[in-house]
Amino acid sequence: MKFVAIATMATALLAAPAFAEGDAAAGEKEFKKCKSCHMIADGDNSIVKGGKTGPNLFGLPGRTAGSEDFKYGKDLAAVGENGLAWDEAEFVAYVADPKAWLKEKLDDSGAKSKMSFKLKDADDAANIWAYLVSVSPES
């Protein structure tokens, strides 16, 4: 019985994307760097009004890459077709250098990203991830 309880607790902790390492309050401030291209909106409920150049980031945690209703580049769509779902580590690596991340994921030196912005500070990226988790529905 003790083993079942421990296994259940471990599964719940590992499966929950709601636990992010960053600071959501700091991430909300850092998201200002993102909102020129990205919005966070749940249907008509706008959490952060932003641009439409990039996809809506509502519900990003756990979402399959390239699966939102948006015209993604073929390389990001290919990563999603390979089954990659966004988690903190992938998000932080992607925003640091989207083109390099795609080249590595696809093992393709010609891979390109539509996102040209780079967020090199991993702490800022982790904070933005924590903020995205905090405003997204629980999975």
Residues spanned by the domain of 114: 2-135
Q: How many domains does the chain have?
A: 1
CATH number at residue 107: 1.10.760.10
The SS3 call for residue 43 is coil
Dist. CA 124–CA 73, nearest whole Å: 25
Question: How confident is the model at residue 139, as a pLDDT?
Answer: 55
Residue numbers in the chain where pLDDT is lower than 50: 1-18
The CA-based angle 62-50-26, given to 5 degrees, is 65
C-alpha 10: how far from its chain's center?
A: 23
Tokens, residue 26: 């700091």
Give the closest residue to 66 by CA, choosing from 36, 106, 22, 120: 106
